[in-house]
Structure 1
C-alpha cells in the first residue's frame, strides 16, 4: 500500500510519538521492525506519518517498547481513528500549509494559551485588523490573498468558539499599542478585546510595560494542551512562517513561561480597565 504523500499534522505527530517511544526504549528501527515482523522501511514510514497505524498495531509497538504509560497509549489510539475532513481542508491550495495546520491543531486542543508581543493574537483579531496585519507583508500580497487569509482567520475564531475550547490570552502592552490599519482600526480592535473578555469568550490578561521582566521569547506563540501533557503542541509565528514544536524540553520550557505569565499579568478585570484606558487615547 503506497504511503501518504502529505500526512496531516496529527498523523505526523502520531509518527513522532512512535519514534520517541522506540528511542526511549533504546531500540533501533531495524530492531523494532524485527519485533513487529515488518521491514525497517515500514517502521520508517509509520514514524514519518506516511503509513496508517491501527489500535492493535499501536499496542503491539508499545509492548515491544515496554511503554507502560497507559494514558499516553490511549490518547495515541485516538489519533489512529479515521476522522472526517476538517473545515480547513477546503482551503488547500489557497493558503500555505502552515495556516491549515494551525487550524487542525486548534481543533484538537483541550485548552489554548497565547502570548502576544507584537500584535493581537489571530484568534481575537477583527477583520479590519487582520486584513491590515496581512497587508503589511513585504513584498505585498494580492488583495485576493489578503481577503482569503482574513476570512480563514475569522473562521478559526468561529470554530474555536463554537467548540467551546478554553482560551487564555496574554497580551503585552506593546501589542495593544502597535497600530495596524490606523487609529480607528486599533480602537475597534481594543473594543473587541474588551467585549471578548466580558463575554467570557477568552480570558484576556495584559502584561504592562512597567512589569519588571519580560517572560519568554519575543515571538507570538500559541500553546495547545492535548489529552495528556505529552501531546501538547507549541506553535510560533516567525518571519519565515509557522513553526511547530513538540519536544519535551520545549513543552516544559513554555509551560514555565505561561506559569510565569499567569503570576505576572494583570487580572481579567484589571486588564479590561487597562485596555479601556488605551482605547480612550484614540478618541
Structure 2
C-alpha cells in the first residue's frame, strides 16, 4: 500500500476491505482471531447512522460519541457536577448548553439539543453514578431542577437503566475521581473512555488506561448507594424543592 492510502484509511477518508484488515493483522502478528473478527465487522459496516445528518453542522466529537454509543454493548457514566446528558430533560440541556463559552448561536443551541434527544433513544444497559452535587446544583430554576429529578426517577424504572447516587456524607468519596463515560465495545479491547477537557473531548482506548478507569468505576460504584436507596434519596431531594 502507498503511504497515502494508509493515511486515508487512518483518517476515515477511505474504507478498508475485510481482506486488507486480515492481511494487516497477519503482518502485525495479531493472532487474536476474535479481535480481528471484531475489527473486520467494524471496518465493513457501511451503516448510515442517524448522526450523519449532523455532519458539518456539529463538531466531529459529537458524531464520534454518537457512533460509539450506537455500537456499544453497555454504557457507564460518572457525573459530579451535571446530570448525565443521556438522562437530561430538554430544559436542563438547554440551560447547560446556554452557559457554554463561547456562546452558541440560536441555531447551534437547537442543533445540540436535538442531537442530545436523539442520543437518548438507547436500549442498551446503562449505569449512571451521580454525585449529590449534580442533583443539587440548579442549572436553571427550581421548577427545572424538580422536573429533572422527576425525570431521573422515571428513567430509572426502565430495566436497562440504573441510577446510583453518592451523597455528600458518603465515605470514600475521594475514589470518585471525576466525570467520565465508559463505553463497552464489542470486545473489552475495543472499550473507550470519553472525558471532557478544556481543550475538547478526549477518547481514551489504551489497555493500560482502560484498566485504570475500570478500577475507578468499580470504586465509585462501591462508594454509592444502591439503586433503590438512590431512588429514595432523589425523592427526598425533590420534596425539598
Indicate the TM-score class for this superposition, using the shorter chain for normalisation: over 0.9
1:1-283 alignment runs, 5 A limit: 38-158=1-121, 160=122, 164-213=123-172, 214-218=174-178, 220-282=179-241
1:177-213 superposed Cα distances (whole Å, 9 cap, x missing partner):
1111111101100010011112335100111112223
Deviation at 1:253, TM superposition (A): 0.8
Sort the Cα spacing of 1:274 and 1:77 in 2 relative to 1 into closer, same or farther, 3 A. same
2:171/2:223 contact within 8 Å kept: no
- Name the residue aligned to 1:27: none
By relative contact order (CA 8 Å, sep 6+), the higher-ranking structure is 2
TM-score by length of 2: 0.93
Gaps of 5+ in 1: 1-37
Sort the Cα spacing of 1:39 and 1:141 in 2 relative to 1 into closer, same or farther, 3 A. closer
1:241-271 superposed Cα distances (whole Å, 9 cap, x missing partner):
2221111122111111111122221111000
Deviation at 1:120, TM superposition (A): 0.3
Q: In 1, Cα distance between the equivalents of 2:101 and 2:186?
A: 38
RMSD: 1.7
Sort the Cα spacing of 1:239 and 1:178 in 2 relative to 1 into closer, same or farther, 3 A. farther
Deviation at 1:84, TM superposition (A): 2.4
SS at match of 1:269: helix
Gaps of 5+ in 2: none
Larger radius of gyration: 1
Deviation at 1:43, TM superposition (A): 4.1
Deviation at 1:41, TM superposition (A): 4.7
Deviation at 1:143, TM superposition (A): 2.5
TM-score by length of 1: 0.80
